[in-house]
């Protein structure tokens, strides 16, 4: 009986190690890595520094604050969630705009041609509950 259990245990260990080896050699993977110019990137803006920043229009009038940055599930399109209206975040409306519509001028974030009225006409945004 002991010999049978010992033999069965040895066979199971052998099969498990063989299966792990076969899985490791299964599907060939390729990862696309792009070379990045770190000197260009290091002069950029961190998300933590952009979130909470005021957004102004061409006339330097404050038209909202960046509440968050979102990226589509495919990772290809970034968006900015703006908080507009309200007082100290109370009764504020959230709207979404394309991130590439923002211009970074010095330390200012500008939405060219933007106004509070135009932003108020956009549909309200709500974060997903998931």
CATH number for position 89: 2.30.30.240
Q: Judge whether 71 lies within some domain.
A: yes
Contacts 24+ apart (CB under 8 A), 66-70: 66/109, 67/94, 68/127, 69/99, 70/96
What is the model's pLDDT at position 109? 93
Q: Judge whether 18 lies within some domain.
A: no
Q: Judge whether 78 lies within some domain.
A: yes
Q: Judge whether 83 lies within some domain.
A: yes
What is the model's pLDDT at position 77? 92
Task: Tell me which residue range forms the domain holding 103.
Answer: 52-121
Q: How many CB atoms lie within 10 A of CB 31?
A: 4
pTM above 0.75, yes or no: no
Distance separating alpha carbons of residues 115 and 111, to the nearest angstrom: 8
What is the model's pLDDT at position 26? 61
Q: Judge whether 15 lies within some domain.
A: no
| Sign of the Cα pseudo-torsion (52, 53, 58, 60, in order) | positive
What is the model's pLDDT at position 102? 94
What is the model's pLDDT at position 14? 54
Q: Are 80 and 102 in contact (CB under 8 A)?
A: yes
Distance separating alpha carbons of residues 130 and 116, to the nearest angstrom: 30
**Number of domain units in the chain:** 1
pLDDT at 5 over 70: no
Q: Judge whether 43 lies within some domain.
A: no
Q: How many CA atoms lie within 13 A of 41 on its CB side?
A: 5
Q: Judge whether 62 lies within some domain.
A: yes
What is the per-residue pLDDT across 20-53, written as a single tens digit (0 to 9) for each? 555 555 667 777 788 888 887 887 788 888 899 9
């Amino acid at each position: 009986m002991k010999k049978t259990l010992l033999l069965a245990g040895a066979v199971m260990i052998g099969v498990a190690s063989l299966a792990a080896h076969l899985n490791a050699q299964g599907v060939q993977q390729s990862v696309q890595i792009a070379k990045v110019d770190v000197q260009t990137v290091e002069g950029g803006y961190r998300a933590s520094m952009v979130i909470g920043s005021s957004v102004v229009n061409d006339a330097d009038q404050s038209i909202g604050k960046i509440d968050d940055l979102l990226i589509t599930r495919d990772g290809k399109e970034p968006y900015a969630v703006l908080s507009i209206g309200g007082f100290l975040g109370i009764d504020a409306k959230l709207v979404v705009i394309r991130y590439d519509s923002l211009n970074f001028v010095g330390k200012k974030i500008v939405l060219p041609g933007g106004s509070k009225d135009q932003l108020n006409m956009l549909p309200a945004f709500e974060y997903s509950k998931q």
